[in-house]
Amino acid sequence: MKAPWKRIPKAQDLSQLSDSELVQLAKDNQEAFGILYERYIGKIYNYIYYRTGNHHDAEDLTALVFYRAMGHIENYTERGVPFQAWLYRIAHNLVANWHRDRGRRKIIALEEFAGPAPTSEVPDTQTEDKEEREILLETIRRLPEERQQLLILKFIERMSNAEIGDIMGRTEGAIKSLYHRTLIALRDELNMHEIGHQISSRINDTEG
Amino acid sequence: MPNPDLSNMQIENLLSAVTDALLAEKTNIDAISRQYQIPRDEVDSFVRVINRLHLALVGVQPSRRFVRRLKQDLVGVPNRNVFSRVRHLPPRVQIAAGIALVAGFMFLSRRRMVHDIQQENQEVISA
C-alpha cells in the first residue's frame, strides 16, 4: 500500500535513482547529495589530479568543487547540461583559476605526475617504457588546456565524444576534429623529440 | 581530386573508432582501418600515439580517508532519528502525530491518577 505521505528514501533506494532525480532531491536532502558525491568523487579527483599533477592540490580542489556544487545545487537546472558535465565545468574553472593564480604552469615531478607505471618483465625495457612515458606526459603538459582536458576525459574517464562535447560545450564533430588535431600535434612533437634524440646519439658516438 | 574536408572527416571518424577499440581492449584495428580510405602509413602513425596514450594515462584513486572526511564535512553523519523523520512529514500528519502523542500522554496520566485514587481508597478502607 502506498504511504499517504512522501517518505524519505533510504540511502539504498537513493543509489538506484538517476542523476536528475538525485539532483532534485539533493536541493533539500543531504543524503541525496551524498550519493551524487560518491558517484563522482573518483572521476573529479582523477581529472583534477592530471590537471594539477599532485595529490595535495587535487584534494584541495576536489573539495572545493563539491563545496561549490553543494552551495549552488539549488540554482542548478538541467538545461542541456547534465549534472556530470556541470561538475566537470566547475572543476575546469577551478583548475584554470589555480593555474592563473600560480602565474605559470606548475613544474611537476614526473614520478608524481605519472602515477603507477605499466609493468614490464625486463628491467631495461621497464626503464625505456618509463622514459617514453615521461616524454609523452611532458609533451601533453605543453599542449593547450583544452587539448589536455580532452585527453584526460577520453583516456582516463573513458568518455564518448558526445559526453566530452557536453562538458566542453562543443559538438561531437568539433570534439572529433579537436582530437585529430591533438594527435597530429603529439605525433609531430614526439617525432621531433625522436629525431633530436637520434642526432644527439650520433654526435655522442662520433665524439666517443 | 579528393575533397580535403571529406578526407579529414574520414580520418577523424577513423581515429575515434580506433581509440574506442583500443580503450575497450579490442584488437581489430586492421578491420576498422579497412573501412576507411586512409593510407596505411598514416593510420599506423596515429595508432602508435594512441597506444602510447592508452598506456601512459592511467587512472588514480583518492585516498579513502580523504573521501570519507570530505563526505562527513559536506553532508555530515546521516540523521535518522524520529524527530528528523517527523520534520519531513506534511503538516497535517505532524498535527495528527502531535494530537496522538498528547492524547496518549493524557490517557496514561489519567490511568495512573485513577490507580492512585483507588489505592488511597483501599488504604483508607483497610485502615
Distances (CA, A) of A88 to A10, A32, A58, A97, A205: 27, 19, 14, 14, 50
B81 or A204, greater pLDDT: A204
Question: How far apart are alpha carbons B123 and A201 in whole angstroms?
Answer: 114
In a domain, residue A8? The reply is no
Q: Which of A17-26, A185-194, B86-95 has the lowest mean pLDDT?
A: B86-95
pLDDT attached to residue A84 = 92
Residues A172 and A161 sit within 8 Å (Cβ to Cβ): yes
Of residues A147, A191, A131, A165, the one with CA closest to residue A50: A147
**Of the ranges A144-158, A182-196, B80-94, B104-118, which one carries the lowest mean pLDDT score?**
B80-94
B93 in the same domain as B49: no
Assess whether A66 and A18 both reside in one domain: yes
* Domain limit, last residue, from A46, A80, A107: A107
Does residue A7 belong to any structural domain of this protein?
no
pLDDT (0 to 100) of residue B62: 95
- Residue A4 forms part of a structural domain: no
Separation in Å, CA of A48 to nearest CA in chain B: 11
Which SS3 state, helix, strand or coil, does residue A144 take? coil
Average pLDDT of the residues of chain B: 84
Q: Which of these three, A107, A124, A152, is where a domain ends?
A: A107
B89 in A contact zone (CB under 8 Å) = yes
- Are A56 and A62 in contact by the 8 Å Cβ rule? The answer is no
Q: Is A133's pLDDT higher than 90?
A: no
Residue B52: what pLDDT? 93
Q: Which one, of B19, B94, B78, B28, lies nearest residue B53 by Cα?
A: B19
User: Is B65 inside a domain boundary?
Assistant: no
Clarify whether residues B8 and B52 are in a common domain: yes
Residues 24-53 on B with a CB inside 8 Å of A are 45-46, 48-50, 52-53
Query: Does residue A44 surpass a pLDDT of 90?
Result: yes
Q: In terms of Cα–Cα distance, which of A145, A167, A154, A158 is closest to A89?
A: A167
Q: Which of A84, A107, A130 is the last residue of a domain?
A: A107
pLDDT at A104: 55
How many domains does chain B fold into?
2
Q: Within this chain, do residues A97 and A148 fall inside the same structural domain, yes or no?
A: no
Predicted local confidence at residue A117, as pLDDT: 46
Domain coverage including residue A159:
143-208
Contact A154, A131 (CB under 8 A): no
Q: Please tell me whether the overall predicted TM-score, pTM, comes out greater than 0.80 for this model.
A: no
Q: Which of A1-10, A41-50, B28-37, B80-89 has the lowest mean pLDDT?
A: A1-10
- Find which of A180, A186, A192 to mutate to test the B interface (most B CBs within 10 Å of its CB): A180
**Is the per-residue pLDDT at A159 higher than 90?**
yes
Question: What residues of A are in contact with residue B91 (Cβ under 8 Å)?
Answer: none
Q: Which three cell numbers stand for residue A38?
A: 560518491
Cβ distance A132 to B78 less than 8 Å, yes or no, reads: no
C-alpha cell, A150: 580532452
Task: Give how many domains chain A has, as a whole number.
Answer: 2
Residue A95 grid cell: 583548475
A149 found inside a domain: yes
> Residue B72 falls within a domain, yes or no?
no
| pLDDT higher than threshold 50 for residue A119 | no
Sign, CA torsion A27/A28/A32/A33 = positive
Mutate to test the interface with B, among A51, A164, A178, A187 (most CBs of B within 10 A): A187
**φ, ψ dihedrals at B59, nearest 5°:** -70, 150
Q: Report if residue A19 sits inside a domain.
A: yes
- Gap between the Cα atoms of B92 and B94, Å rounded: 5
Rg (CA), chain A: 22
Does one domain contain both B51 and B85?
Answer: no
Q: Which residue does chain A place closest to B66, by CA atoms? A: A59
Cβ-defined contact of B49 to A155 (cutoff 8 Å)? no
φ and ψ at residue A180, rounded to 5 degrees:
-60, -50
Domain assignment present for residue B61? The answer is no
- Grade residue A137 by pLDDT with cuts at 50, 70 and 90: confident
- Using CB atoms, which residue from B54, B59, B71 is nearest to A34? B71
Q: pLDDT over 70 for what percent of chain A?
A: 83
Cell of A206: 662520433
pLDDT of residue A202 exceeding 80, the answer is no
Contacts of A185 (CB under 8 A, 6+ apart): A143, A147
Domain span including residue B95: 80-126
Across the interface, whether the CB atoms of A46 and B59 are under 8 A apart is answered yes
* Coil, helix or strand at residue B116: helix
Q: Please provide the average confidence, as pLDDT, over all residues in chain A.
A: 83
Q: What CATH number is given to the structural domain containing A206? A: 1.10.10.10
Which of B57, B62, B93 lies at the smallest CB-CB distance from A62?
B62
In this predicted structure, what is the pLDDT of residue B119? 87
